[in-house]
Amino acid sequence: MITATSLMPYLGGALALGGVAVAASRRRELMVRWCAWAVGVPLVTGAFWLGRPGAAAVAGAAGVIASLEFGGLMRLGRTDRVVLAAAVTGVVLAAWLAPGQVLRAAAAGALAVAAVPLLAGDTDYGLHRLGAGLLGLSWLGVLAALVPLGASALALFVAVSIADIVAYFVGRRIGGPRLSPLSPAKRWSGTLAGAAAGLGVLALLSALSWPTAVAVAVGGPVGDLLESMVKRGAQAKDAGRWLPGSGGLLDRIDSLLVALAVLLVLR
């Protein structure tokens, strides 16, 4: 069984090796990004060590921040953003406190999101607000899966993160056919290499199974492309600017979100 305690040596070792590599590169951008990881990884791991309450806290905080970032990308008003964040939080709380009521909480959240433009009588942008809100709820509400999955979700996040890094560097080095017009920098060569690296990480962390393998190899790249589509529509480079060296939180968890959805479906 995977636990936060069993993952700590691997995460600590990865941070240490990453720190050495970043220091050797002498690139300020990478140093800033590593510092952010050095702070965030222990905090998140410690939260998962606390069990379901800690996982719920991480999922809830991530859901609120990502909802606000997504709302900004989709140019939603303050009320739409607040209701979306509340709906995502409600799904997370249901996963923690009343697991049998998750679907009911999601349905209630969808009704709340839909009610905002309907009650406002928005005939000009109401359909956009409705569609964006429901997309946001279905996309970000998957964070509730962090609660029942626990440390397994943390292992999945490590795997998709490593896969994304390897895909970026291998794709730039080897080149080849593009993965999708949505993200011209991504190549099939990088995607395949990243998938292999992600599966290797899952095996190292004793988390490899056919559902997690598909989640990392397929769900991760699809999640990245989904956010690329949203950002291209919004003509934005990043979902936010507050996370040092990484843009916004949504930029960091986009692959994880769809990977979690794939894992839920397959399990």
Share of the chain above pLDDT 90, in %: 63
In this prediction, residues 116-123 reach a mean pLDDT of 92
In 179-193, which positions are buried (b, 16+ CB within 10 angstroms) versus exposed (e)? beebbeebbbbbbbb
The verdict on residue 221 lying in a domain is: no
Of residues 138 and 166, more confidently modeled: 138
Which of 246, 255, 234 lies closest to 71, judged by CA? 234
Structural domain boundaries enclosing 85: 54-147
H or E element, residue 240: none
Provide the number of structural domains found in the chain: 1
Q: In degrees rounded to 5, what are phi and psi of residue 243?
A: -90, 115
The verdict on residue 40 lying in a domain is: no
The verdict on residue 42 lying in a domain is: no
Of residues 102 and 243, more confidently modeled: 102
The verdict on residue 41 lying in a domain is: no
**Of 26-30, 54-58, 108-112, 227-231, the least confident:** 26-30
Q: In degrees rounded to 5, what are phi and psi of residue 178?
A: -75, 145
| Contact assessment for residue 236 and residue 73, using Cβ atoms and an 8 Å cutoff | yes
For residue 26, CA distances in Å to 1, 32, 133, 185, 245 come to: 39, 11, 42, 24, 14
Find all residues with CB under 8 Å of 92, minimum gap 6, and list them: 56, 59, 60, 63, 141, 143, 144, 146, 147
The verdict on residue 86 lying in a domain is: yes
Structure tokens at 241: 């600017």
The verdict on residue 168 lying in a domain is: no
| Contact assessment for residue 188 and residue 176, using Cβ atoms and an 8 Å cutoff | yes
The verdict on residue 160 lying in a domain is: no
Say yes or no to pLDDT of 55 above 90: yes
| Contact assessment for residue 133 and residue 109, using Cβ atoms and an 8 Å cutoff | no
Say yes or no to pLDDT of 165 above 90: no
| Contact assessment for residue 220 and residue 186, using Cβ atoms and an 8 Å cutoff | no
Residue-level pLDDT at 245: 64
The verdict on residue 234 lying in a domain is: no
pLDDT tens column, 17-40? 877 877 877 777 778 777 888 888
In this prediction, residues 121-143 reach a mean pLDDT of 94
Give the distance from CA 197 to its chain's centroid. 18
Say yes or no to pLDDT of 62 above 90: yes
Q: How many residues does the chain have?
A: 267
Say yes or no to pLDDT of 1 above 80: no
Residue-level pLDDT at 97: 97
In this prediction, residues 181-203 reach a mean pLDDT of 90
Alpha carbon distance 138, 147 (integer Å): 17
Of residues 59 and 175, more confidently modeled: 59
DSSP 9-60: HHHHHHHHHHHHHHHHHT-HHHHHHHHHHHHHHHHHHHHHHT-HHHHHHHHH
When the pLDDT of each residue in the chain is averaged and rounded to a whole number, the result is: 90
| Contact assessment for residue 167 and residue 190, using Cβ atoms and an 8 Å cutoff | yes
| Contact assessment for residue 223 and residue 254, using Cβ atoms and an 8 Å cutoff | yes
Of residues 184 and 52, more confidently modeled: 52
Say yes or no to pLDDT of 98 above 90: yes
Alpha carbon distance 83, 109 (integer Å): 8
